[in-house]
Amino acid sequence: MDLIASPEQDELRSSVRRFLETKSPSEVVRTLMDDPTGYDLAVWSQMANQLGLQGLAIPEEYGGSGFGFVELTIVLEEMGRVLMPSPYFSTVVLAAQAILDSGDADAAKRLLPGIADGSTIATLAFTEENGRWDLGSIAMSATKQGDGWSLSGTKSYVVDGHIAGLVVVAAQTDSGLTLFAVDGSAAGLTATAVPALDQTRKLATITFEGVPATPIGAPGAAAESLAKTLDKVALALAAEQVGGAQRAMDMAVEYSKIRTQFDQPIGSFQALKHKASEVMLRVESARAAAYYGAWAVAEDSDEVPTVASLAKAYCSEAFFHAAGENIQMHGGIGFTWEHDAHLYFKRAKATQLFLGDGTYHRERLADLIGI
């Protein structure tokens, strides 16, 4: 396992950072927060056609570039750094990974090229009213009708569900948990955007009333594939959190150099030095956890489930701590709507809860290692 970034990976990071700093400054982020769709279609197209980001980790036979999970992690860290408002996470991480992990080659050939070229916005409809991310919490059912299937029920907290053209749905059948592909414009499907703490990432409730659906993978086989997918998603989110935590720390340090009290920069005060050093320690540890997990996925290691929960729990808390200390080090201005510090604080809290909080993942980790 090579834990050192290659020159190509460093260049990928530099290219993505330059692009995002140009296309996603805080002014644009704030504008898109108020946009019902939550993203810029022109930038989305540029990401696909000029940088190939949507197809980065999709195999070449399905229209992608065939890179691995480490490269995807790099992109997600950079997106987290600028709070990139786009359906990238829902499409490329949630939906595409669920399709790939299903092992259904026909579904992959049918669905992934549209994701890779940016023409399809997709999402994974997993959670229900209880908001839980464990596989046993899914109660929504699918019914066999002739040669087809139909779905009835409600999915909650679906990322970008109101704009998705493809919805990958987890539902129960007589054979067990199964994945289905649903057209976002299908008759009987109603997607409604709902208020979210983190306004840079839109959520929706999707109601299904006899909606036609096409199975992905074998009936009853989704429990195993989704467990694998959720581990990858947890690590992808951890990478995003590392990017956000790094930016929160950078903001605090930059401000401590220019804000003066008693005729000297506040960064020279012992208390703030201690705060900054503690944040830096947590951010670097979070980065190590997230990237170890990424390399474990790339190597198809048996460690992935344990590392995924470890990274999700630790990176969530590191980001939340960094975002909170950023506000504290800015003082009163950090609490205002006009300052970007609160945007990172909201993203930190929202991602801390998404996919299960720290308590959930520590308990899962303890079970996995037999404590």
State the number of CA atoms in the 13 A half-sphere of 91 facing the CB: 30
- pLDDT (tens digit per residue) in 248-284: 999 999 989 888 888 888 887 888 899 999 999 999 9
Q: Residue 361: its pLDDT value, please?
A: 95
Q: Give me the CATH topology for the region 223-368.
A: Butyryl-CoA Dehydrogenase, subunit A; domain 3 (1.20.140)
Q: Find the mean pLDDT for residues 21-40.
A: 96
Helix (H) or strand (E) holding 194: strand 189-194
Q: What is the pLDDT of residue 258?
A: 87
Q: Does domain 122-219 have CATH number 3.30.70.1560?
A: no
Q: Is 165 exposed, middle or buried (0-12, 13-18, 19+ CB in 10 A)?
A: middle
The closest of 204, 202, 207, 156 to 182, measured between CA atoms, is 207
pLDDT band (50, 70, 90) for residue 1: low
Does the structure show a pLDDT above 60 at 13?
A: yes
pLDDT of residue 98: 98
Alpha carbon distances (Å) from 101 to 84, 178, 189: 26, 13, 25
Q: Which pLDDT value is given to residue 364? A: 93
pLDDT score, position 2? 63
Sign of the four-CA dihedral 130, 133, 138, 140: positive
Q: For the purposes of burial, counting CB atoms within 10 Å of the CB of 72, is it exposed (0-12), middle (13-18) or buried (19 or more)? A: buried
Phi, psi for residue 143 in degrees, rounded to 5: -120, 130
Q: Write down the pLDDT at residue 297.
A: 97
Reduced to 3 states (helix: H, G, I; strand: E, B; else coil), residue 258 is helix
Residues 33, 337: Cα–Cα separation, whole Å:
13
Q: Do domains 7-116 and 122-219 have the same CATH topology?
A: no
| Res 371: pLDDT | 87
pLDDT (tens digit per residue) in 309-359:
999 999 999 999 999 999 999 988 888 888 999 999 999 999 999 999 999
**Do 188 and 340 touch, CB atoms closer than 8 A?**
no
Task: Give me the residue label for tokens 């990274």.
Answer: 311
- The answer to whether the beta carbons of residues 92 and 54 sit under 8 Å apart is yes
Inter-residue contact 247 to 275 (CB < 8 Å): no
Mean of pLDDT over the chain: 95
pLDDT at position 262: 86
Tokens read off for 174: 């007589």
Rounded distance between C-alpha atoms, residue 173 and residue 196, angstroms: 31
Q: What are the Cα distances from residue 329, in Å, to 273, 321, 322, 358?
A: 10, 12, 10, 25
Stretch (H or E) spanning 177: strand 176-183
pLDDT of 52 higher than 80: yes
Q: What is the pLDDT of residue 292?
A: 96
Q: Break the chain into its structural domains and give their ranges.
A: 7-116, 122-219, 223-368
Task: Pick one of 3.30.930.10, 3.40.109.10, 2.40.160.60, 1.10.540.10 as the CATH number of 7-116.
Answer: 1.10.540.10
Q: What does the alpha-carbon distance between residue 368 and residue 313 come to, in Å, rounded to a whole number? A: 14
Give the pLDDT mean for 70-90.
98
pLDDT tens digit sequence for 115-125:
999 999 999 99
pLDDT at 250: 96
Q: Cβ of 94: how many Cβ atoms within 10 Å?
A: 26
pLDDT digits (tens, 9 = 90+) for 109-165: 999 999 999 999 999 999 999 999 999 999 999 999 888 899 999 999 999 999 999
Percent of the chain with pLDDT over 90: 89
What does the buried/exposed string (b/e) look like for 192-229 if buried means 16 or more CB atoms within 10 Å of the residue's CB? ebeebebbbbbbbbbebeebbbebbbebebbebbbebb
pLDDT one-digit tens code per residue, 193-217: 999 999 999 999 999 999 999 999 9
